[in-house]
Chain A
């Protein structure tokens, strides 16, 4: 096995300790990851420490997650003007990471089967462009080549970026034969705000707000991942009470979104009762979060070093009461759904993703667990309160819309239990401890199981202890391709249902 640096989730190491591999060894490490039961959690470029922004070489860092030992293996290499041979043909799960690094740093990738821009912005490294586009131009989002089927009987359907509902923008190209979909290609980037670039030089006053709005429905997840980064880089530990409250907030976020998703799935097949009840219940869970911190989405709650709001016994009792009432109602709504044969007829065998596909694409979160992959950061790479109290991993086997819906339901049940337990035994410590200054020339990795799946943040600091680079990998980044694959050989009319069963974030992907 190649030399790697293995660290637990939420730890920081000196940059100097990160092994610098030769390009070939680095490629072999990434390509061999799957065979050694590792996942690629992050793969990205950072400009080297001494270099100017238009440096001739770019440092690549990879974070491989080992779910068996709970360690994160990090390694780096340097790519020069020649670029590197694409690893995608041998390791499909890096396909989007490679497209991203080609776009961000102008790294030339030979042999990538589908090298297209991801977010449609100019290269961050002046004078380097993977597609040799003229300098000074800003590419138009969505204007690119799409995979096409040729023939008399096939037709192409283009949906978006403006949709019939009030949702985020994204472009979907279907290659169809009648009602049957042969291929779906998804083109995003409309929500690109340049967050990662904004974070360089931080942390500053705005940093936490950038984090809370990476994906608005995952405020707690991303804010927790960021807080763990700052705590690791500064050598601060969040207080036990803060860890427990973060766990409560994270599970409440999961509850709200999973409940909303069950309702939306019911709505998509026209099953009214569950759709309406779950819409209301989602609000109940959001309001529970609002009780904690005044914001339904948990904004302002999670801060580096702990949580910004404490709870008293009265509030805990109130939360417990609300939770019990919501549990009763959400159980009723879900049982209506599972008890309806017409709903099951629609859910089962729709949008199936084979376990091999899920493995090859590196899916995460409920979408992966619905395919029988045991991937849950709370269990395999626990941080915070999840190190003390474990939560069972909810699994299904069939990989279809039903499995993704059922995994959500199992997680709803278990999250309610978890929140109740945590509220019952909150440690009596202070809720927050002021973090120290960040240490210079460090690297930190933080994983959090958000409601969509693994959130991965990787930060490096410069000699002054500011962020030299900050990498965010939202679970949607892994899973969008899974949605595209789930549509193969399906009815085009089932797309909204499949889409809802993944319910991925556009802004979390576009950053």
Chain B
């Protein structure tokens, strides 16, 4: 391993750890702009996390170790997934054949523990949130996997670093329609998985309408900070996957590629903010329809490749 490779791995780690809260800050700033407000400072999410980390924790007597395991496992699995994704055209620090399955199921494991921690409280609201999260995750999964199928088939590899690496540039010239379908589908999944409008409203405090937020109602202090940080990192991971497909980094200067990647991440945050600003939330039953549609678009992309 060369010094250069180590440097790239360190940059990868730093971006994974440091960039996610900034994305949330950019989304909030964009929404504030559309609402005609000044909005919170870009770095506010970092301050919020610091504030929460300094607080105490109140634990309900009805909860068990699972209640605290939820946030911990949620963050750990998201971090694990982040190590598998190539950023800015650079191969991921951890890569092996078939790592895309680990990627998907690491996120799945995190979700399992988040839902279990919600059920652990025994609250009617959190039960409802858990049921919604599990239902919508089931529907989002096909969209992810059909997209992976497209990438795996055209790249001939089962490792994310290859599937989303140099091979994507070639794919845009040979099978651009399939890739475009995957992009559309994954953008929908990104919004749904990260509880953004139109699927969920991260700012609402109405316990009956929330999906993700309602599951963490009983968490506070450092566990809540871990949850919020994990959620931001999840947005970063999904964004990185989307950017890897949309802007393959081949043929560019490797150092410039990092800058392009950071810029693209922030641009994506702006796009998410714009979507949130101009759309209302969907009615809950329609969320399922949109996710199924996203799965079908992804599947159509796969069909295009096997013709």
Chain A residues packing against B (C-beta within 8 Å): 155-159, 164-165, 178-179, 266, 268-273, 275-277, 280, 340, 342-343, 345-346, 350, 491-497
Contacts and interface: CB of A to CB of B under 8 A. Distances in A.
Interface of B: 31, 34-37, 124-125, 128, 131-132, 197-198, 201, 203-209, 217, 276-286
Given A159-B207, A273-B277, 12 more contacts: A164-B205, A164-B206, A272-B34, A273-B35, A276-B35, A276-B36, A342-B198, A343-B280, A491-B284, A493-B209, A494-B283, A496-B208
A275 B204 CA distance: 13
Contact of B276 (A179, A270, A492): A270
A159 B132 CA distance: 18
A346 B124 contact: no
Contact of B208 (A266, A350, A495): A495
12 contacts: A164-B206, A165-B206, A268-B206, A272-B276, A275-B35, A277-B35, A342-B198, A342-B279, A346-B282, A493-B209, A494-B283, A494-B284
Q: Which of A164, A280, A492, A493 has the most CB of B within 10 A?
A: A493
A269 B286 CA distance: 14
A165 B208 CA distance: 12
A342 B280 contact: yes
Contacts of B278: 273, 340
A155 B280 contact: no
Given A158-B124, A276-B37, A491-B285, A271 B206 contact: no
Nearest to B127: A155
Nearest to A271: B280
Given A159-B208, A275-B35, A269 B124 contact: no
Contacts of A494: 209, 283-284
B124 A155 contact: yes
Contacts of A273: 34-36, 277-278
Nearest to A345: B283
| A-B interface, 4 closest residue pairs, ranked by CB to CB distance from nearest | A276-B35, A269-B280, A496-B206, A342-B280
A491 B35 CA distance: 28
A276 B279 CA distance: 14
A493 B208 contact: yes
A270 B124 contact: no
A346 B283 contact: yes
B284 A342 contact: no
Contact of A157 (B128, B132, B277, B284): B128
A399 B182 CA distance: 42
Q: Which of B124, B128, B208 has the most CB of A within 10 A?
A: B208
Contacts of B203: 270
Nearest to B125: A157
A164 B207 contact: yes
A343 B286 CA distance: 13
A343 B282 CA distance: 8
A482 B209 CA distance: 21
Contacts of B204: 268, 270
Given A342-B198, A496-B209, A269 B281 contact: yes
A181 to B, nearest CB: 10
Nearest to B203: A270
Q: Which of B125, B198, B280 has the most CB of A within 10 A?
A: B280
Contacts of A345: 280, 282-283, 286
B286 to A, nearest CB: 8
Contact of B281 (A156, A178, A346): A346
Nearest to A344: B280
A387 B281 CA distance: 44
Contacts of B124: 155-158
B128 A271 contact: no
A270 B283 contact: no
B208 A346 contact: no
Given A276-B36, A343-B280, A346-B281, A270 B197 contact: yes
Contacts of B281: 269-270, 342, 346
Nearest to A496: B206
A204 B31 CA distance: 51
